Chains A and B, each alone.
Chain A
């Protein structure tokens, strides 16, 4: 082994200071080094040889990471005991519902579009694995953010009146999971209608109920992304409690979704008129447009009002 310039003490101090906030690092390093040198000197005075003295002193100080964590007083965990049970529950519910649905759905789509059985199975397995990993990642991310943002509240006096209603909480949880599954089903149905269930256009390509140009522009993925942001936000609000700022954010999110969709529908850019002609829809595309606008407005309004009601209710009980 080649000798390096850094001593055992150098290596120990560097490792211990890794988790320590930068502004305290210099001072802690100076003190820690002095303390180590003092201890080594003591042992040398008692007759130990230098390498043994250094080794023993560091061994007695114990794992440097643990020492560093004690200095920094920062949590060395991602999700703490207060959220852990909820975290595992949300994760297991999501994984046990969304992943099998996605597996079946992508399997059916692949098979119908003419893949071989083996390719279908492989593709579906891959898709399910990918979905599971994204779910795990985003769930963990949301909970880690909650863990760090609610830290400041912990010192406040806990009031039993702030306990959530048992029934309400459970209902809301089910609602939340229902919302995720519902969103994925809608997204799946749309993709299906647009691809395998689409009808042939004049030029021989497939077209679906959504305007082809809009579909190809990737707007659908933006909508899907929006849905996940919205769901994550609802999970976040569920744990941090509905505050006025959360209610305002909900309204903003709803407006961000409703306005572009209503505008697209009203200006005739959302739906594919040719598609509705081709499938001989009796009432024409205008009626569908109106229905879409009505549903979007209704959902956005309901969600916004729901958020505001939760926020004011929370205020009253505090």
Chain B
């Protein structure tokens, strides 16, 4: 019997790539770490803060998003925005996602 940890690991692995795609799509409008976290949650993409914050850095390093410190408000915040490269990746990933969805649909209809 699958224990809770193993169950959680399988779910986590299935979700892993979807967070990247969701971030790239959402950051078409510039946003900062915590606001993005809550927006993702509200949209139904459950992600942990300790995964999201380092992920944003990684995406930035790969040139998929850019960042800018916004010091207009009392609390300076780092805003991220999807680059054209990031948008291209998001488009490719969306196509893959749709194909996978269709494939699962067919699979479940036939079984």
Q: Which of A28, A37, A42 has a CB less than 8 Å from the CB of B38?
A: A42
The answer to whether the Cβ of A241 comes within 8 Å of any Cβ in the partner chain is: no
CB-based nearest A residue for B53? A35
The answer to whether the Cβ of B34 comes within 8 Å of any Cβ in the partner chain is: yes
Residues of chain B within 8 A of A71, CB atoms compared: 53-54, 57
- Main secondary structure on B side of the interface with A: helix
The answer to whether the Cβ of B76 comes within 8 Å of any Cβ in the partner chain is: yes
Minimum CB–CB distance for A193 against chain B, Å: 61
Residues of chain A within 8 A of B54, CB atoms compared: 67, 70-71, 73
Complex: A70 Cα to B51 Cα, angstroms: 8
Whether the Cβ atoms of B33 and A34 lie closer than 8 Å is yes
Size range of the chain B interface in the assembly = 10 to 19
Interface size on A, residues (CB 8 A): 19
Q: Contacts A28-B57, A70-B54 known; A35 to B76 CB distance under 8 Å?
A: no
Minimum CB–CB distance for B73 against chain A, Å: 10
Q: Which residues of B contact A (CB under 8 A)?
A: 32-35, 37-38, 48-51, 53-54, 57-58, 69, 75-78
- Main secondary structure on A side of the interface with B: helix
Q: Which of A61, A66, A67, A73 has a CB less than 8 Å from the CB of B58?
A: A73
The contact string, 1 if C-beta is below 8 Å from chain B, for chain A 20-52, is 000000011011101101110010000000000
Whether the Cβ atoms of B50 and A34 lie closer than 8 Å is no
Task: Report 28 cross-chain contacts, Cβ distance below 8 Å, ordered by A residue.
Answer: A28-B57, A30-B78, A31-B33, A32-B53, A34-B32, A34-B33, A34-B34, A34-B78, A35-B33, A35-B34, A35-B37, A35-B49, A37-B75, A38-B34, A38-B75, A38-B77, A39-B34, A39-B49, A42-B38, A60-B48, A61-B49, A61-B50, A62-B50, A66-B50, A67-B50, A67-B53, A70-B54, A71-B53
Whether the Cβ atoms of B49 and A60 lie closer than 8 Å is yes
Q: What 4 pairs between A and B have smallest CB-CB spacing?
A: A38-B34, A70-B54, A35-B33, A67-B50
Whether the Cβ atoms of A38 and B57 lie closer than 8 Å is no
The contact string, 1 if C-beta is below 8 Å from chain B, for chain A 202-228, is 000000000000000000000000000
